[in-house]
Structure 1
Amino acid sequence: MKNPPERTPQDLEIVYSYLHGMEALSNLREHQLRLMCETVRHERHEANEVLYYPDDIGTCWYIFLSGSVFIKESMFLPRSSFGKRSAGSFRRGCECIVLEPSEMIVERNSVFLLCFSGKTTRIATTATATSKLQNISSYCLRKKEVSSVKHARLR
């Protein structure tokens, strides 16, 4: 899989056709899934590698292609997803260990900061981030309630 900025429309169609059938993404609408195809990346990890630690900030989540990982007394196998942040926390909260050589698709989490009359509100999302931000900012700008809208990718 090419890096996101290098993908052609044909590459995006290949990524889309693969992701379209995954149960982990079945709740996404077509346009949300197509947006996600523009940002996902492919990673390979070796056995016994620690993918993340409990105090790590959850900057992404994973969809398994091959291999397995161990998280909180559970094993995750291909075509499952893991690593999404729990509500109200940016920390992982547990350790993730790669059990065998593994390949996965990785999607970065996005954080949107909306400033309402000097107060900052965070909206954490994944593939739906762009469309939600556009809808929220359009509504708020019509209402003249937003002093600024910022989009920041967690690094």
Structure 2
Amino acid sequence: MKTTDTIRDLIGRVEHSLSQLRDLSPQELNTHPGGHPNSPAWLLWHVGRELDMQLAHISGGEEVWARHRDRFNLGDIGDTLGYGHTPEEARSVLLDDHTLLRAYIREALSAVAAHAARVTDWGEVVDTYDGEPVTRQVRVTSLLLDALEHLAQVHYIAGMPSMVP
């Protein structure tokens, strides 16, 4: 299997996971099970941001966030990635619209798919991590796997019998 085929498969898995997630009410989106600072809203927002921001970084393209920023109304915190948020910063990501989150994630996924269709060298080094080179293949794979992991967390929370106190 070619790398592009694997990336397309992962994109499809992220889309499938997103499509299987039930709609969450504003209260459910902003709940913090066990007092954890990352709510389902934060997790979904972060899925979009990490796909979008990391892809823009390695592709040299623009973030799709610019088309969504005002609708999210998160201020400066919305422009961040989410990694390293303090508990207070994570709790400040309050969103009431599940469909807005889905639309942003889907547009970011479309950008990843368009990028994958254009890539001719998956082995190109696009970054470093802990002083080690990171190839385009590794970075795109890892951002899609991270998206799947965060979506799985939202599915888990959404399935809790009484997730909203």
User: TM-score normalized by structure 1?
Assistant: 0.31
Query: Rg: which structure is higher?
Result: 1
Report 1 or 2 for greater relative contact order, CA contacts < 8 Å, sequence distance ≥ 6: 2
